[in-house]
Amino acid sequence: MAARAPQKLNSYLVVMAGGSGTRFWPKSTSKRPKQLLAFGGNGQGDCGEGETLLKQTLGRFDGIVPSSQKIVVTTAALEPAVHEQAPGALVLAEPQGRNTAPCIYWAARTVAAIDPKAVMLVMPSDHYIAHLSAFKSTVQKACEWAASHDDLVTLGVQPERPETGYGYLKVSANSEGGCKKVDSFVEKPNLERAKQFLADGNYLWNGGMFLWRAEVILRAFDELMPEMRKVWDGESGEVARAYPKMTATSIDYGVMERAKNVVAFPLECGWDDLGSWTSLESLAEALHARHAAGTVTGGDALAIDSTGNIVDTPNRLTALLGVNDLIVVEHGGAILVADKRRAQDIRLIVEELKKRGSNLL
Amino acid sequence: MAARAPQKLNSYLVVMAGGSGTRFWPKSTSKRPKQLLAFGGNGQGDCGEGETLLKQTLGRFDGIVPSSQKIVVTTAALEPAVHEQAPGALVLAEPQGRNTAPCIYWAARTVAAIDPKAVMLVMPSDHYIAHLSAFKSTVQKACEWAASHDDLVTLGVQPERPETGYGYLKVSANSEGGCKKVDSFVEKPNLERAKQFLADGNYLWNGGMFLWRAEVILRAFDELMPEMRKVWDGESGEVARAYPKMTATSIDYGVMERAKNVVAFPLECGWDDLGSWTSLESLAEALHARHAAGTVTGGDALAIDSTGNIVDTPNRLTALLGVNDLIVVEHGGAILVADKRRAQDIRLIVEELKKRGSNLL
């Protein structure tokens, strides 16, 4: 946590928006993955009800990062749609998705070429934030820390429940300037361990949100993934040639879990990862938007002896009779009816439709 | 079973098509009850795949009843739609639905005014017949019997399974000219009794299909429901005035169960009453049109770990994941997802929508 002399804070936002869209099928498709979908803001904290997740994500950093310094990394296939949702942003179109390490390496080289001392705010494009001002205030502090310390800063979400769907950060008990040392990265726990983590108080959700100066993350790459610079420079920074040769791994696995200079700012802002249809339930909880049928995120619903369902059927009324814990979605010529416990298996449907050569993907 | 001297057989078809359409919601609505819907013929026995049930019903009697002698009784609200489906048929539009006894009384008076000795074939408009030639052959025999005997003739369906959803006719063991005396009408049985009925062999399903000469049924009305003639003649046969005063009951309860001259022709033709969404299952069985998902009567379906479902989502693909024994229907801005065991309770949804003043009815 060695501090540098303070200087004017220059920052770049790097939004990762390369997801391929299987978990929210049929609402999400390959041409319109979830980052390009609107799940409804709350009209209070987050920016823009009815805006796409990508647009909401970009808007969240207004006043923190100059709009001309917002970068979106996506895949070539999504580039036109991303340009539409992110006018004015610099778009880096990956020739193919190769997980987050190559994506962040490319972004870091891009930012470093402009200003190696600039802070990069690396953010996924599929998060929900209930309380925007709390989020911004933590980001601001983390940003200042990253500008003045040679640390890899992450935002660790203060757990609200014993969640088994996220990885955790084990952090130190004591903090300095609101910031805690990260001792280790912990894989998704079972329920028992998740309960222990919640009780312990020194575990935060790993939300995949990072802040660091470009020079600091590049130094970490050079130490922990030296092959990245070798490939990149070997191909004279030509992305199309370099990308296929880069190590396709996550930034967590490639860098963060092995680096010694990782710190976390605890984040309390009603955060949720929109990972699958079931994650909309906690979102609805946060918005106090529960319905007799369960969670209704699109269209209207009528429930008779039916609870715990997730309904997204825009412009339609869905009537439920004697059914519980289902996901019911209608979109673009397709209807999905799934057991909620199978939310992670929706990709099986997408795979089957691919085999059939369906145009519903 | 006293026989009359044979004479030229003159016949009128009377199709009862006044149903209000709640059990097949959202496919059926008040403006388009099930008799005005197509559930798909089989391209073999029954007439006209994709034709409405009413049109199929009328077509079934081609060659038995002259087309100019086909009568449809319906409600005023449905009259235009019925005219469209039954061009050339005489349409009797009831001022309001008052069950089958008034409907049949009016039709009998109408036929009697033309030819009291003509045979009336009274048929519901929501049946499915798999083997048309077998049906026609039995109808022909029953028609001839009715022309030459002072009996109330009914077609009793030979049971194919221990069905608890239908009433039964207890018939005599011996028969004459293919015809059996009906000893009694039996209410819908529980499963145990239904199994006994099936084993016994002398029980037939009451399909609500009747044949009699106009004069014979009017005589039965005069004996068992004398108030009908009193009201009718008292209002000089003016339907609008007479109808509200007529006894609103079923022909079964008002006449058939109490008459002594009831006989039945056993019918074996792959008959089914299309009473609710679940009745489409036996129809699909008959058509050998089972799908991995269960029964798909509209649109396409994809099933992963899902069986026993009934899917009717025209022009759509419905993907099912880990769900069993559901009814999934999409129609005109509404989606229904119901537990199959609750098929009879779909009216609860219709009632709730009525309360809300919904336009989806």
Q: Is A280 among the domain residues?
A: no
**Which of B80, B86, B43, B81 shows the shortest CA–CA distance to B62?**
B86
- Beta strand pairing call for B127-129 and B271-273: antiparallel
Residue recorded with tokens 């009525």: B354
- Amino acid code (one letter) for A291: H
Q: Quick check: A326 contacting B, CB < 8 Å?
A: yes
Cross-chain CB nearest to A337 (options B326, B333, B356) = B326
Q: Quick check: A329 contacting B, CB < 8 Å?
A: no
Please state, in angstroms and rounded to a whole number, the distance separating the CA atoms of residues A281 and A290.
8
Q: Do B349 and A322 touch (CB under 8 A)?
A: no
Q: How far is CA A101 from the centre of its chain?
A: 14
Reading the block at residue B81, the tokens are 């739609």
Q: Do B334 and A318 touch (CB under 8 A)?
A: yes
Q: Which of A214, A243, A273 is the last residue of a domain?
A: A273
| Predicted pLDDT of residue B45 | 37
Q: Quick check: B337 contacting A, CB < 8 Å?
A: yes
The strand ranges marked E within chain B are 11-16, 70-75, 90-94, 119-124, 127-129, 152-157, 168-171, 180-186, 203-213, 262-267, 271-273, 290-291, 294-304, 309-321, 326-331, 334-339
Confidence check: pLDDT of B48 > 50: no
Residue recorded with tokens 């803001």: A41
Chain A residue numbers touching B360 (CB-CB < 8 A): 317
Cross-chain CB nearest to B328 (options A304, A333, A335) = A335
Q: Tell me the three state secondary structure of residue B200.
A: helix
Do B20 and B99 lie in one domain? The reply is yes
| Predicted pLDDT of residue A55 | 94
Angle between helices A214-224 and A100-114 (to 10 degrees): 130
ipTM of this predicted complex?
0.81
Q: Is A2 among the domain residues?
A: no
Cross-chain CB nearest to B321 (options A318, A322, A342) = A342
CB B309 within 8 A of CB B293: yes
Provide the CATH number for the domain around residue B66: 3.90.550.10
CA-based nearest residue in chain A for residue B327? A321
Helix (H) or strand (E) holding A228, with range, is helix A227-234
Please state, in angstroms and rounded to a whole number, the distance separating the CA atoms of residues A43 and A171.
33
How many beta carbons lie within 10 A of that of residue B207, not counting itself?
Answer: 21
Residues of chain A numbered 196-225 and touching chain B (CB < 8 Å): none
* Overall average pLDDT of the A234-262 stretch: 95
| Predicted pLDDT of residue A348 | 94
CB B118 within 8 A of CB B10: yes
Confidence check: pLDDT of B196 > 60: yes
Do B290 and B145 lie in one domain? The reply is no
Do A220 and A315 lie in one domain? The reply is no
Do A231 and A298 lie in one domain? The reply is no
* Domain of residue B349, residue span: 279-355
Q: Is B244 among the domain residues?
A: yes
Confidence check: pLDDT of B74 > 80: yes
Please state, in angstroms and rounded to a whole number, the distance separating the CA atoms of residues A254 and A225.
7
Q: Is B4 among the domain residues?
A: no
Instruction: Please tell me whether the peptide bond between A26 and the residue prior to it is cis, using omega within 30 degrees of 0.
Output: yes
Q: Quick check: A304 contacting B, CB < 8 Å?
A: yes
Do B93 and B112 lie in one domain? The reply is yes
How many beta carbons lie within 10 A of that of residue B75, not counting itself?
Answer: 20
Q: Is B58 among the domain residues?
A: yes
Confidence check: pLDDT of A125 > 50: yes
Confidence check: pLDDT of B344 > 90: no
Instruction: Determine what percent of chain A is predicted with pLDDT higher than 90.
Output: 75
Cross-chain CB nearest to A335 (options B318, B346, B356) = B318
Q: Quick check: B319 contacting A, CB < 8 Å?
A: yes
Q: Do A338 and B348 touch (CB under 8 A)?
A: no
* Overall average pLDDT of the B38-64 stretch: 73
Do B206 and B306 lie in one domain? The reply is no
CB B252 within 8 A of CB B206: yes
Q: Which of A273, A305, A320 is the last residue of a domain?
A: A273
| Predicted pLDDT of residue B288 | 63
Q: Which of B273, B290, B323 is the last residue of a domain?
A: B273
Please state, in angstroms and rounded to a whole number, the distance separating the CA atoms of residues A192 and B350.
45
Number of domains in chain B: 2
Confidence check: pLDDT of A64 > 60: yes
Do A80 and A206 lie in one domain? The reply is yes
Task: Give the model's confidence band at A19: pLDDT under 50 very low, under 70 low, under 90 confident, else very high.
Answer: confident
Tens-place pLDDT, residues A305-320 = 999 999 999 999 999 9
Helix (H) or strand (E) holding B107, with range, is helix B100-114
Q: What is the 3-state secondary structure (H, E, C) of B297-351?
A: EEEEEEEECCCCEEEEEEEEEEEEECCCCEEEEEECCEEEEEEHHHHHHHHHHHH
Q: Is B75 among the domain residues?
A: yes
How many beta carbons lie within 10 A of that of residue A38, not counting itself?
Answer: 17
Cross-chain CB nearest to B304 (options A335, A352, A356) = A352
Q: Where are the alpha helices (DSSP H) in B182-258?
A: 191-200, 214-224, 226-234, 239-242, 251
Q: Do A323 and B336 touch (CB under 8 A)?
A: no
Q: Quick check: B357 contacting A, CB < 8 Å?
A: no
Reading the block at residue B103, the tokens are 């409907």
Please state, in angstroms and rounded to a whole number, the distance separating the CA atoms of residues B348 and B355.
11
**Better pLDDT: A42 or A290:** A290
Confidence check: pLDDT of B146 > 50: yes
Q: Quick check: B335 contacting A, CB < 8 Å?
A: yes
Residue recorded with tokens 């073999």: B44
Helix (H) or strand (E) holding B85, with range, is helix B79-85
**How many interchain CB pairs under 8 A, A with B?**
117
Q: Quick check: A336 contacting B, CB < 8 Å?
A: yes
